Chains A and B, each alone.
Chain A
Amino acid sequence: MNTIVLRTASNYLLPLLLLFSIFILLRGHNLPGGGFIGGLIAAIAFVLHAFANGLNRTKKLIKVHPGFIMPFGLAVSFLSALVPLLSNAPFMTGIWASDPIPVIGHIGSTLFFDLGIYITVLGVTLTIIFTISEAA
């Protein structure tokens, strides 16, 4: 859409929302939120940007085809589920660092799992909406 207002707003919203999405991702384990909703918000940030600036600009911003984000995310989740196998624990077992670190809190494999979900959902939503808007 050719409007300065939206363009400007979206340019400011983009980093803000990305930040927000990571916030939502990190707090998911203790409060409402998590990888799914976080990824969705990140995607919405880019989608807003795309609505305002046109798809091509946003694609340039993302640098890779959103389709490639999906296997990346899946790989992250998958690996984080596989890691416990190394220490002879079953698939998907939560592995935790012994001490919590500041800001993020307990670091564990489930966090990476959620991160994978985040990335996947980001890729999925972008792929779907971009494809549809391109064809629309």
Chain B
Amino acid sequence: MIDIIIGFLATIGVMFIFLAAVGFIRMPDTYLRMCVTTKASTLGSGLILLSAAVFFGENGVISRVIAIILFLFLTVPVGAHLIARVSYFIGVQLWKGTIMDELKGKYDKQSHELHSERELKK
């Protein structure tokens, strides 16, 4: 039974990661690639860690795994946000199929401040 749980969690985890990897290779622009990878990999690694927690079944291991997962959930999106933001700064091009860009022209080139006005109907 335990083995099945472990196998199941690990399989899902690996699948997520594999999905992320394929997406990462296939997606046409940087933003899309970011979109499919960040969470998939986080989730994937988290699940694999969980399976390890189940496998060892010790208090210490479980508590540590939970800590790691929490930590991942806290940091990975922040990282994604940072790199996405900076990609936009450095002018990484959006894919030609992109339908809208409401960020356009809102960044101050000098101070990197982001404005909310213009075009925003409250």
Residues of A within 8 A of B (CB): 1-3, 5-6, 9, 12-13, 16
How many residues does chain B have at the interface if contact means C-beta atoms less than 8 Å apart? 9
| 0/1 string, B56-92, CB within 8 A of A gives 1 | 0000000000000001001100100110010000000
Give bound CA distance, A77 to B82, whole Å: 39
Also in contact, A13 and B81, with CB within 8 A (given A2-B112, A2-B113): no
Which of chain A's residues have a CB closer than 8 A to the CB of B82? 1, 3, 5-6
What residues of chain A lie closer than 8 Å to B112, measured between beta carbons?
2
Check B113–A9 contact: CB distance below 8 A. Answer: no
Task: Please report B residues at the A interface, Cβ cutoff 8 Å.
Answer: 71, 74-75, 78, 81-82, 85, 112-113
State the CA gap A124–B11 with chains docked (Å).
43
Complex Cα gap A37–B112 (Å):
35
Contact B113 A5 (CB under 8 A): no
Write out the residue numbers on chain A whose beta carbons fall within 8 Å of the beta carbon of B71.
16
Is the pair A3, B74 in contact by a Cβ cutoff of 8 Å? Answer: no
CB distance from B85 to the nearest CB of A (A): 7
Chain B positions within 8 Å of A3 at CB level: 81-82, 85
Residues of B within 8 A of A9 (CB): 74-75, 78
CB distance from A26 to the nearest CB of B (A): 14
Q: How far does the alpha carbon of A12 sit from the alpha carbon of B112 in the complex, in Å?
A: 25
